[in-house]
Structure 1
Amino acid sequence: MPRFRWRVTRSARSPFSVRPGPAGTAPRLISSLNWKPTIPVNWQKPLCFLADCCANWLNTNCLESDLMTLFPAMLDLQDRLCLVVGGGTVACRKLQSLLAAGARVRLVAPDCRRPPVQGEFEWLRRCWRPEDLSPDVLLVVVATDNPQVNREIAETARRMNILVNAAAVGTRGNLQFPAVRRRGRLTLAVGTEGGSPALAGLVADLALQRFGPEWEFVAELVAALRRSALTAASGREYNQSFLRLLLDGGLAEMVARGRWNDVDQLLQTVCGGNCSLAALGLERPDGNP
């Protein structure tokens, strides 16, 4: 069996995949629409495909664009120091988002065009200094109107292993803020790897329309189910298959229409006879027992 060599020659945002060829030959870029590779027996995953980055690397349609270039995560910023450098509209908007997340925010800017209407923060009314990046800073938002200053801040922060969100085009960062929409504890986050924040916002708005206000209660309900041991009574494991039984049974629609007796009946059918909103410690949004 011939050996195969793989080489990623395009950005992970490329619409092309890389076709393997025998060792010693150059890889060929083939459109993902025109090529259907066959995985050889005992084929080993190439090093460029990381197990946690490409969820379908064994799929013959796995593209170079399937490679994850940014790892999506949620940070607990409660009482963590975050630095915002710049006083423009973008900087002030991100400052407000950090305050909403419970962070301790330090703003470094001679002025601020749109100061946050809620939350307290430290404001150093001056230009940036290298000592502003103290060891207790978790992340920095770089958003001045000076490209050279932006690059200097970002490079200094990266050397100190501080997360960098670069709002200005042309400044290299390692942290991006997605477009976020919320329904209670249900958080919808959409990103385009910095390609188009406006598109991310539009898609997030569309997603929010799909998940109406009833999903706030649905999220609380399934969280209560996870905390409880009531699912064990029915012999069902708490997982996606279990949740699908509830959703396919019309849970979200029942909540939207206020059909609470039907919700209790569905819970008893799926989870067991002792399961109900009252047993989970949940109050009906209409205030009735």
Structure 2
Amino acid sequence: MTLLPISINVSGRLVTIVGGGGVARRKCLSLLEAGARVTVVAPRLDERLMKLADEGAICLAQRPYADGDLAGSVLAYAATDDPAVNRAVAEEAHNRGIPVDVTDDPERGSFTSPAVLRRGDLVIAVSTGGGAPGFAARVRDDIAEIIGQEYAETLLILGAIREKLLTASKNAAYNKHILHDLSAAPLPEMVRSRNFEELDRTLARIAGPDFTLENLGFGRKDSP
């Protein structure tokens, strides 16, 4: 199954998960991390989901799924261990025009959930099109060995540079050239080794003398 990878802003928006087991828990935690308002519909919940409900982090309808439970949702997940229930959730979602992930039958849904690696605002998603989720998780973990927290810190620096460039210059082609060269430079390696002097020299050489960590709002001791 060939899928289109996209990123969806669910912050503050309602997402409904039907199911209360381990799969539902993993979907829920990922959605909460993205800022979604999550409702879980299930007669039984695992311990972590129940704790989230008790803390008020999610809304809970502790009962079997009923038609109409997806009303107002921007996304839906059919994550029960009952194929008939999952089919019913998928049918309601399709009728309402709501994208749905059917965890036990990806072909019946309209999207699948990738294995995700987060490093700050850097998000890396690995998908097998629903064919082998466990392998997607393995690839994600392999990437995690290579892409560390230094990439999140580098992204903060690049974001600050981009904002400063947009404020200081209206030459889009010039800005694009600088950002391209900075992205190609070994900035993450410098951040990882905490070699901030070399990092400053590299930023100044590519972007100009005003683009030092200090001028970008990062002190040496608290550099990102």
What is the match of residue 158 of structure 1?
94
What is the match of residue 19 of structure 2?
86
- 1: distance between equivalents of 2:81 and 2:39? 18
Which residues of structure 1 form unaligned runs of 5+?
A: 1-12, 14-68
What is the match of residue 61 of structure 1?
none
- 1: distance between equivalents of 2:106 and 2:156? 42
1:203 aligns with 2:139: yes
**Kept after mapping to 2: 8 A contact 1:233/1:271:** no
Q: Deviations over 1:117-137 (max 9, x none)?
A: 556111111111112121x11
Offset at residue 202 of structure 1 (A):
1.1
- 2: distance between equivalents of 1:106 and 1:99? 11
Could you say what secondary structure the match of 1:211 adopts? Answer: coil
Q: Deviations over 1:19-70 (max 9, x none)?
A: xxxxxxxxxxxxxxxxxxxxxxxxxxxxxxxxxxxxxxxxxxxxxxxxxx31
- 2: distance between equivalents of 1:222 and 1:170? 37
What is the match of residue 44 of structure 1?
none
Offset at residue 232 of structure 1 (A):
4.4
What is the match of residue 219 of structure 1?
155
- 2: distance between equivalents of 1:160 and 1:272? 53
What is the match of residue 121 of structure 2?
185
- 1: distance between equivalents of 2:77 and 2:186? 43
- 2: distance between equivalents of 1:209 and 1:79? 32
**Kept after mapping to 1: 8 A contact 2:115/2:133:** yes
Could you say what secondary structure the match of 2:9 adopts? Answer: coil
What is the match of residue 110 of structure 1?
43
Alignment of 1:90-101 (within 5 A): 90-101=23-34
Shifted more, 156-165 versus 249-258: the winner is 249-258
Could you say what secondary structure the match of 2:128 adopts? Answer: coil
How much identity, in percent, do the aligned residues show? 35
Give the helix-richer structure, 1 or 2. 2
1:233 to 1:252, Cα distance in 2 relative to 1, 3 A: farther
Offset at residue 213 of structure 1 (A):
2.1
Could you say what secondary structure the match of 2:217 adopts? Answer: coil
**Kept after mapping to 2: 8 A contact 1:181/1:204:** yes
Which residues of structure 2 form unaligned runs of 5+?
A: none
What is the match of residue 77 of structure 1?
10
Offset at residue 238 of structure 1 (A):
3.2
- 2: distance between equivalents of 1:132 and 1:185? 32
Could you say what secondary structure the match of 1:130 adopts? Answer: coil
1:247 to 1:145, Cα distance in 2 relative to 1, 3 A: closer
Offset at residue 276 of structure 1 (A):
0.7
What is the match of residue 22 of structure 1?
none
* 2:18 counterpart letter in structure 1: V
**Kept after mapping to 2: 8 A contact 1:84/1:107:** yes
Could you say what secondary structure the match of 1:278 adopts? Answer: coil
- 2: distance between equivalents of 1:166 and 1:197? 13
TM-score by length of 1: 0.69
1:211 to 1:238, Cα distance in 2 relative to 1, 3 A: farther
| Larger Rg, first or second structure (1 or 2) | 1
**Kept after mapping to 1: 8 A contact 2:150/2:191:** yes
- 1: distance between equivalents of 2:170 and 2:59? 52
**Cα root mean square deviation, aligned:** 2.4
**Kept after mapping to 2: 8 A contact 1:236/1:271:** no
- 2: distance between equivalents of 1:149 and 1:171? 16
By relative contact order (CA 8 Å, sep 6+), the higher-ranking structure is: 2
- 2: distance between equivalents of 1:174 and 1:159? 12
Match of residue 58, structure 2, among 90, 108, 121: 121
